[in-house]
Structure 1
Amino acid sequence: MKALVLSGGAGTRLRPFSYSMPKQLIPIVNKPVLEYAVENIVDLGVSDIAVIVGDRAAQITEALGDGSRFGARITPIHQDRPRGLAHCVELARPFLGDDDFVMYLGDNMLPEGITKIAEEFRADRPAAQIVVSKVPDPRAFGVAELDADGAVVGLEEKPNRPRSDLALIGVYFFTSAVHQAVAAIEPSARGELEITDAIQWLLTHGHGVKAGEYDGYWKDTGKADDVLECNRHLLGALNRRVDGDVDAASELVGPVVVEHGARVVRSRIVGPVVIGAGTLVEDSRIGPDTSIARDCVLRATQLTDSIVMAGASITQVPGLHGSLIGRSASIGPSDHAEAHHRLVVGDHTHVEVAA
């Protein structure tokens, strides 16, 4: 089995971050979302992985390398602009050949893995096996309709009146039969080759299509609030580890990770919190539910339920909550008097807030 990871979307819901970085590189507990996807795939025993990349291919390549640190081989495949998931399969046909493969959206978080569903696919080898999960409002997703025996009988893309609450969550298993389906379909009304149309073609032409229900935690990290929620969820499994320096005037409460080279000075850290390598936290109150990446500086700041990306600095900010702080962003005091702040700050920006 091979793997096809999709990492070329525009990420419009995560602007301003997606203006300067692929949305799949947004960090959750200081690790890019895309790395979690690759690790899940390697856990299936799959080592030959193609990654669809867009105009920020260099950043994806820098983040993943050649795949050797994951025990895999990674092959980038360029897509000039988003043209649909089925178009990604078409682009990857020379790489995939006639092998079975798993297709995985690179901005999806499934921390409990997909091993069980992969085993079901390998045992039965239907032409397609989709992964579905129950959602409160399926209108924003591809939706699967199943019969009484659990077999897939129909698919709809973002229906106004969904026939079920089972959403396709961005992981698909295919045999080579899907290539015939992709070649047969036409672009949808939005001008894209839809993978739901390809799977529906398989159904219509008598090919077996099954659904595996994922009942673990799942999150599409396409919006800032979803990123923060996912960060909270994964931080909940954190174990305390202190490899950096914490002075005698500081207090660590609960599960706190202080990575090598980080320093905590005259500060109180309430876990779960991760403080990245090379970061300085001084005269501050941090946590809970906060991830701070490498090489950041936080001074005289109070920060909760937030993600701070690499190289950012925050000084004299008394009440940051529910915030995403971009790479190398700088946040400091101003003369205005506001008691509370909530920020979504893009890369290399400068923001002034009330001291």
Structure 2
Amino acid sequence: MKALVLSGGAGTRLRPFTYTTPKQLVPVANKPVLSHVLENIRDLGVREVGLVVGDRAAQIEQAIRDGSEFGLRVTYISQQAPLGLAHAVLLAADFLRDDDFVMYLGDNVFAEGLRAAAASFHQRRPDAHLVVAKVSDPTSYGVAEVGPDGTVQAVVEKPAQPRSDLAVTGAYFFTPAIHQAVRMIEPSRRGELEITDAIQHLIATGHPVTVDRYNGYWKDTGQVEDLLECNRVLLDRLSPEVDGQVDDATRTHGCVVVQEGARVTNSHLIGPVIVGAGAIVHNSRVGPYVAIGRECFIGDSTVQDCITLDGAAVRGVHQLRHSLIGRRAEVRADRRTTHRRLILGDDTQAEVPA
């Protein structure tokens, strides 16, 4: 089995970050979302990955390279415009050939992995096997309508009156039968070749389509709140590890990770917290649920439920919460009010009340 990972989306809901960084490279728990995706794929026993990339291809290639860091062989497939998931399958036909494959959206996190879904696909081998999750508002998703025998009777995109609460997530398993289906469909009203239309074509032509109900934590990290929530969930799964320097004046509680080359002095770390390699934390209260990137500086500040990307600095800011601070961004205090929330893109400077 091969894997097809889609990483060409524009990420408009995550601006200003995605003006400078592909959304798949924004980190949660100090690791890019795309790295979490590739690790899950490796855990399925897959070794060959087609990575569909758009106008940020160079940045993704620089981060992932040939995939050997993950134990994978990565082939890059260019999608010049976001013309739909089924269009990506069309582009990848020469790479996929006659192999079964898992298609995985590069901004989705499945915290417990996909091994159970893969095992179910291999055992039953339908022509499409959809990973679905129960949701409270099905009108925001593609929805799978499942019959009494467990096969999918219809896939409806964002139904006004949903007949099911099973949302189609960002992971799909296919046999080569999908290639004929994507060639048979027409672009949707938004001008894209929709994978839901291709799946519906399989159903209409008598091909078996089934589902695997995902009971673990799944999140599409397309918005800031989603990233912060996902960061909290993945931080809760870390194990304590201190490879950097923590002085005797620093107190730690709960799960604390201090990576090699990081220094923490005269501070209070309340886990779960991760301090990235080369970062400095001084005279600050950090946590819970904080991920500090590589080479960051946190000084004379109180930080909670935040992600600071590599090279960011927070100086003299009290009660910084629920915030996402971009690479090399700097936040300074002007000491006039209390609690604040910030969403700062890369290379930004901001002054806030201390």
Structure 1 residues 38-187: aligned runs within 5 Å: 38-187=38-187
- Give the structure-1-normalised TM-score: 0.98
Structure 1 residues 1-355: aligned runs within 5 Å: 1-334=1-334, 337-355=336-354
| CA distance in 1 between partners of 2:10 and 2:184 (Å) | 26
Give the secondary structure class of the aligned counterpart of 2:145.
Answer: strand
Structure 1 unaligned segments of length 5 or more: list them: none
| Residues 176-234 of structure 1: CA deviation (Å, up to 9, x unaligned) | 11010000000001110000000000000011111111111111101100110111111
Q: Give how far 1:338 is off.
A: 2.0
| Residues 298-330 of structure 1: CA deviation (Å, up to 9, x unaligned) | 110100001010000110001100000111101
Give the secondary structure class of the aligned counterpart of 2:38.
Answer: helix
**AA partner of residue 52 (structure 1):** V
Q: Give how far 1:276 is off.
A: 0.4
RMSD (Å) for aligned C-alpha atoms: 0.9
| CA distance in 1 between partners of 2:184 and 2:254 (Å) | 56
Q: Give how far 1:65 is off.
A: 1.3
Q: Give how far 1:249 is off.
A: 1.2
Q: Give how far 1:149 is off.
A: 2.0
- Give the structure-2-normalised TM-score: 0.99
Give the secondary structure class of the aligned counterpart of 2:4.
Answer: strand
| CA distance in 1 between partners of 2:189 and 2:59 (Å) | 31
**AA partner of residue 343 (structure 1):** L
| CA distance in 1 between partners of 2:239 and 2:4 (Å) | 32
For these two proteins, the number of residue pairs brought into alignment is: 354
| CA distance in 2 between partners of 1:279 and 1:131 (Å) | 38
Which 4+ runs in 1 deviate beyond 3 A? Answer: none
| Residues 216-267 of structure 1: CA deviation (Å, up to 9, x unaligned) | 1111101100110111111112221111111111111111011110000111
| CA distance in 2 between partners of 1:102 and 1:95 (Å) | 13
Give the secondary structure class of the aligned counterpart of 1:314.
Answer: strand
**AA partner of residue 314 (structure 2):** I
| CA distance in 2 between partners of 1:88 and 1:348 (Å) | 33
Identical positions, percent: 56
| Residues 49-79 of structure 1: CA deviation (Å, up to 9, x unaligned) | 0001111111111111101111110011111
| Residues 56-115 of structure 1: CA deviation (Å, up to 9, x unaligned) | 111111111101111110011111111100000001011111111110001000010111
Q: Give how far 1:333 is off.
A: 2.0
**AA partner of residue 195 (structure 1):** I
Give the secondary structure class of the aligned counterpart of 1:186.
Answer: coil
| CA distance in 1 between partners of 2:174 and 2:129 (Å) | 6
Give the secondary structure class of the aligned counterpart of 1:160.
Answer: coil
Give the secondary structure class of the aligned counterpart of 1:51.
Answer: strand
Give the secondary structure class of the aligned counterpart of 2:311.
Answer: coil
